[in-house]
């Protein structure tokens, strides 16, 4: 199992930032990240230097799915994560 799990993402209107909510599965702690995401896509280089490498790897691997709306809060269901992993 991966250490970091993403739950859902939302954008505040008129801001170029995404709020990413997830959980550190090893520490059993919830987290919220603020990612710079102008219209051109998520910029994982801006303001992420303090994030753990393993979390950045998860964000990088899920970046395309985040941008496609797969983690949008409007589509979020607690059990959806397992269904997506199996497909």
pLDDT at position 26, please?
Answer: 96
Instruction: Calculate the CA dihedral of residues 16, 62, 56, 45 and round it to 10 degrees.
Output: -40
- Confidence check: pLDDT of 84 > 60: no
pLDDT at position 45, please?
Answer: 94
Task: Tell me if residue 34 falls in helix, strand or coil.
Answer: strand
- Confidence check: pLDDT of 80 > 80: no
pLDDT at position 44, please?
Answer: 96
Q: pLDDT tens-digit profile of 26-77?
A: 999 999 999 999 887 999 999 999 999 999 999 999 999 999 998 998 877 7
pLDDT at position 83, please?
Answer: 56
Q: What distance in Å separates the CA atoms of residue 68 and residue 70, rounded to the nearest whole number?
A: 6
Mean pLDDT of 19-27: 96
Whether pTM exceeds 0.85: no
């Amino acid at each position: 199992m991966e250490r970091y799990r993403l739950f859902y993402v939302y954008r505040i209107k008129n801001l170029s930032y995404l709020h990413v909510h997830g959980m550190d599965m090893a520490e059993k702690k919830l987290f919220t990240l603020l990612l710079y995401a102008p219209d051109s896509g998520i910029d994982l280089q801006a303001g992420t230097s303090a994030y753990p490498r393993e979390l950045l790897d998860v964000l990088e691997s899920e970046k395309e799915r985040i941008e496609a709306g797969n983690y949008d809060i409007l589509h979020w269901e607690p059990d959806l994560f397992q269904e997506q992993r199996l497909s």
